[in-house]
């Protein structure tokens, strides 16, 4: 067993003070409302490939992304789980002024610095709401990025709303859609019947194409730990489009400003229009598109081989200079 001095010297020379904590590091974040801490966990060690994962929500957790453990270690990637401020493993302040996209962008930048990620190794992957956050980060700080991944997120909240109303809704049985719309019109989102209708008819078709009673345990944990005090103000209570403060978010005209190599991942059965996702890839200076034909919003579960084969190839191509 190394002496205490030896360990201290080791930390000082490697910057890996998380070694004895299972890779877990609580990072202090400065905000206009004071200092808070966010939870991160490092897995692997690779000086040229370090992937920071941005979970969905807002107010979700990293937990549903734990399936990355079945793929990234075998590729030798270093990657980081991270619960954003307000999420289950991080501090959960109640100040409403914290739940702004611009504030989350500055949080990601502070996390990047604390984890020693930089242009030579930093890949940012955002899924769902995390895709919004990843693009917002890239538009301000892309000089820090080696690669960007936008997973399962359209670049226009209004366009997403139209897709939900015009394409996804009509796919439901008419009587199911009518009852959902009736509950939404009343604002009765807390009615158990609302979730009872959504789970088998919407979530099991477009969120994750696995029978509800067989959902992966990490997915169930994320739903259990969802912070609605963050989710509802930003996303809104409805599952058909965005009706919170993100309702008018639209970055379609800004996509050509993103110079960094970017992979856009869409899925045929996603809540997000796969044709829009394909179009997004054409607007980026170095965009690539990956379609998961059997996948949904969580294509990393229901179309795993396509998702991870495409994702790992993208990262390796950048790392090897062949992209």
Catalytic positions, written as ranges: 128, 270, 297
First-residue to last-residue Cα distance in the chain: 44
Each as own residue / partner, the long-range contacts of residues 168-171 (CB below 8 Å, 24 or more positions apart, any chain) are 168/202, 168/206, 168/240, 168/271, 169/240, 171/205
Distance (Å, rounded) from C-alpha 109 to C-alpha 125? 14
Residue 292, beta-bridge partner list = 267
* Kind of pairing between the strands at 34-43 and 24-31: antiparallel
Residues 6+ apart with CB under 8 A from 104: 58, 84, 85, 133, 136
Cβ atoms 106, 80 nearer than 8 A: no
CA angle (94, 95, 98) in 5-degree steps: 115
Angular region, 23: left φ>0, alpha ψ -120 to 50, beta rest = left
DSSP state of 295: -
Cβ atoms 278, 263 nearer than 8 A: no
């Amino acid at each position: 067993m190394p002496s205490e001095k030896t360990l201290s010297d080791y930390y000082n020379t490697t910057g890996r003070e998380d070694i004895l904590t299972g890779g877990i590091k609580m990072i202090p974040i400065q905000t206009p409302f004071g200092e808070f801490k966010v939870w991160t966990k490092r897995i692997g060690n690779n000086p040229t490939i370090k992937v920071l994962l941005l979970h969905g929500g807002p107010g979700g957790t990293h937990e549903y992304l734990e399936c990355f453990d079945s793929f990234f270690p075998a590729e030798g990637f270093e990657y980081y789980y991270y619960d954003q401020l307000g999420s289950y493993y991080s501090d959960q302040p109640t100040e409403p002024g914290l739940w702004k996209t611009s504030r989350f962008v500055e949080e990601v930048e502070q996390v990047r610095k604390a984890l020693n990620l930089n242009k030579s190794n930093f890949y940012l992957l955002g899924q769902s709401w995390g895709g919004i956050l990843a693009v917002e980060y890239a538009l301000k700080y892309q000089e820090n990025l080696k690669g960007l991944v936008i997973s399962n997120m359209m670049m226009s909240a209004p366009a997403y709303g139209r897709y939900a109303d015009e394409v996804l809704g009509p796919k439901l049985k008419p009587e199911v859609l009518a009852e959902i719309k009736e509950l939404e019109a009343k604002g009765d989102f807390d009615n158990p019947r609302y979730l009872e209708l959504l789970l088998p008819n919407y979530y099991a078709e477009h969120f994750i194409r696995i029978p509800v009673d067989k959902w992966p345990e990490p997915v169930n944990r994320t739903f259990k730990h969802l912070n609605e005090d963050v989710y509802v103000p930003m996303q809104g209570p409805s599952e058909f489009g965005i009706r919170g403060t993100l309702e008018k978010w639209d970055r379609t005209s800004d996509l050509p400003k993103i110079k960094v190599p970017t992979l856009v991942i869409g899925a045929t059965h996603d809540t997000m229009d796969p044709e829009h996702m394909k179009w997004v890839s054409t607007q980026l200076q170095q965009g690539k598109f990956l379609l998961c034909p059997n996948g949904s919003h969580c294509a990393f579960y229901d179309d795993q081989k396509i998702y991870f084969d495409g994702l790992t190839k993208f990262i390796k191509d950048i790392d090897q200079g062949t992209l």
